[in-house]
Structure formats: C-alpha cells, structure tokens
Amino acid sequence: MSSQTEETKPLAKKKKKVPFDYSPYIRGGKLPHIWCPGCGHGIVLKSLLRAIQTTGFPQDDIAVISGIGCSSRTPGYVDFNTLHTLHGRAIAYATGVKLAKPKLKVIVTTGDGDALAIGGNHFIHACRRNLDMVIMVYNNSIYGMTSGQSSPTTPQGMISTTGRYGSVEPTFDTCNLAKAAGATFVARGTAYHFQELEKILHEAINHKGTAVVDIIDACPTYYGRFNKYKTATEMMEKIEKEGTVSVKQAGTMSPEELEGKLLRGILHKSDRPEYLEEYNKLIERVQKK
C-alpha cells in the first residue's frame, strides 16, 4: 500500500526547497550526535559547515582536529580529514598536521576547558607563532563531558560540581588572552547569533594566520541546571543574546550599559607574518648558501 502512495504522490513534487544541503559534509551513519537537547554545539557545527562551503575550500583540503570533550566530538561527524586527539592537545597535533601538509586548512574544535585549562600552554604559543589555523573555542563555561565541573571561563560565583558554593576563581577572557598572545584574528560569536557566526567563521577560515573564535554557547544539562536556568531557550536568551553586544552596537552604548557584557564580532585583526611563510623564507635562504 505504501508503494502505491509513493507512486501516486511522487516525492519530488512534495519536496520543500532545501536552503543548504549539509549532507555532503556529514558522515552518514555517524549521527545522532552525543550532544544533549538544548546544547548549541549542533548550531555551531551548522554555521561552521556553511562557512566552509562559502569559502570554497575543497573537502579534501580541510582538516578538523579536536581534543577531548563535548565539542571535541565534532571531527567524528564531519567528512573531512579528521583527528580526535588527547585532552588539551588538539592545537599541538594541529601544528604537526599543518607543518607536514601546508595546503590543509586546519580547523581546531575545542572547548573552554580543553583549550584554556589543560591546553592553555599550547593555546598561547599557537597565537604567538601565528601558524595558519582556526581555533574555535566552544565556550559553555563548564566541563560538559565530565558532568559539570568549573572551567577557566566559569563566571565567578556560578555553581558547578567543583564550585558548589559559587566558583571562587576569576575567569579568562578567551579573546583578550588570544590577542595578548599574538593571534592575528580574534573574534567572538554565539550559537544564538548563528548567521553572524557563519560570517565570522568565513572570515576566520579565509584569514592567513592564527584565528581564534570564541563561541559563547550554553550547557543546559549542567550549567543551566546548577544555576537555575529553567530552559535551554532561557539560557540562550540570557547568556548569548542579552549577555553580548555586537562591536557596532557597543559603539553607541555607555560604559554603564556595557557593564558585564561580552563583545561580539571581529575584535582584532593584524597582518603579522604567518609562521610557514617565514619558515619557507628560511628554507630558501639556507638552501641558497
């Protein structure tokens, strides 16, 4: 009976217009993903795939590399050259891949704990070297995979399983840290502003040098539950929408209005020489002798 239905109503006629076809970039059979309902990581992934498509990089020339954690499961789902490494070490692995295969556009997908705690040393030195790669920090201010411990971006006073009475430690501002360490492209986006994020990632991928994109995201399962957010939507609105302002908007706001808000958009850009360009010059120089 069902086959009759199909015959009488061809699917092609019913087919809705698909604005973007994700299927070439997703590995069939590797979904569903492990991310919880309400988690923004999937939205971030969509923005990334759309950004990759608009930059026109061939799939064979993209490498997606991660450490350990929720965000770090990204490489498993996407059909590129993919590497899921050790906790905190994604950037160091990415450095090796990029140096061995310079034609690859290397994209690191890492979390706030992975990049800024255990991987903090690699993070700052990657920024210093300015080797061509994109570092996407999926920043939900908590360790999701290990069930909700404080991370270097957990705001002071917020609750986690290791900050039961309110986190005592001050937080890192990923963007300030990246800029100070020498990254030549520093930006911030959110899962809520997914179209803006796509544009930022497009710019980051096209940038020649170390590009850091801090992506504010929310973990409803742990951060949300501990800190009395009722729904994932409420978290998105409070943390991502109301907690951030675009660089453009910020220009019209008073310091009082900007208090406690994170800036969104491209925050820093400089054209310091890229590592491999410098290294190749060195090769040329020493081989002439």
Partner 1 sequence: MQGNEACAEGAFYAGCRFFAGYPITPSTEVMEIAAARLPKLGGVFIQMEDEIASISAIIGGSLGGMKSMTATSGPGFSLMQEGLGFACMTEVPCVIVNVMRSGPSTGSPTGPSQSDVMQAKWGTHGDHPAIVLTPSSVQELFYETVRAFNLSEQYRMPVIILYDEIVGHMREAITLPAPGEVEVINRIKPDCPPNEYKPYDKKYGDIAPLAAYGEGYRFHVTGLYHGEDGFPTNNTKLIEETAQRLIRKVDNNRDKICKNEEFYLDDAEIGVFAYGLSAKSAKFAIKELRKQGIKAGLLRPLTIWPFPEKAVEELSKQVRAIIVPEMNLGQIVHEVERVARGRCEVKGVLRADTEPIKPAQIIESITGNGFFPSS
Binding site for partner 1 (CB under 8 A): 27, 30, 59-61, 63, 65, 75-76, 79-86, 89, 92-101, 103-104, 121-122, 125, 279, 282-283, 286-287
Q: 95 or 154, CB closer to partner 1?
A: 95
Q: In the complex, what is the shortest distance from the CB of residue 234 to partner 1, in angstroms, rounded to a whole number?
A: 33
Q: 84 or 241, CB closer to partner 1?
A: 84
Q: 75 or 189, CB closer to partner 1?
A: 75
Q: 226 or 279, CB closer to partner 1?
A: 279
Q: In the complex, what is the shortest distance from the CB of residue 190 to partner 1, in angstroms, rounded to a whole number?
A: 28
Per-residue 3-state assignment (H helix, E strand, C coil) for the chain: CHHHHHHHCCHHHHCCCCCCCCHHHECCCCCCCCCCCCCCHHHHHHHHHHHHHHHCCCHHHEEEEECCCCHHHHHHHECCEEEECCCCCHHHHHHHHHHHCCCCEEEEEEEHHHHHHHCHHHHHHHHHHCCCEEEEEEECCCECCCCCECCCCCCCCCCECCECCCCCCCCCCHHHHHHHHCCCEEEEEECCCHHHHHHHHHHHHHCCCEEEEEEECCCHHHHHHHCCCCCHHHHHHHHHHCCEEEHHHHCCCCHHHHCCCEEEEEEEECCCCCHHHHHHHHHHHHHHC
Q: How far apart are CA 206 and CA 226, in angstroms?
A: 39
Q: 11 or 286, CB closer to partner 1?
A: 286
Q: In the complex, what is the shortest distance from the CB of residue 147 to partner 1, in angstroms, rounded to a whole number?
A: 18
What's the alpha-carbon Rg for the chain, to the nearest Å? 20
Q: 36 or 86, CB closer to partner 1?
A: 86
Q: In the complex, what is the shortest distance from the CB of residue 210 to partner 1, in angstroms, rounded to a whole number?
A: 14
Q: In the complex, what is the shortest distance from the CB of residue 107 to partner 1, in angstroms, rounded to a whole number?
A: 12
Q: In the complex, what is the shortest distance from the CB of residue 36 to partner 1, in angstroms, rounded to a whole number?
A: 18
Q: In the complex, what is the shortest distance from the CB of residue 202 to partner 1, in angstroms, rounded to a whole number?
A: 21
Q: 13 or 288, CB closer to partner 1?
A: 288
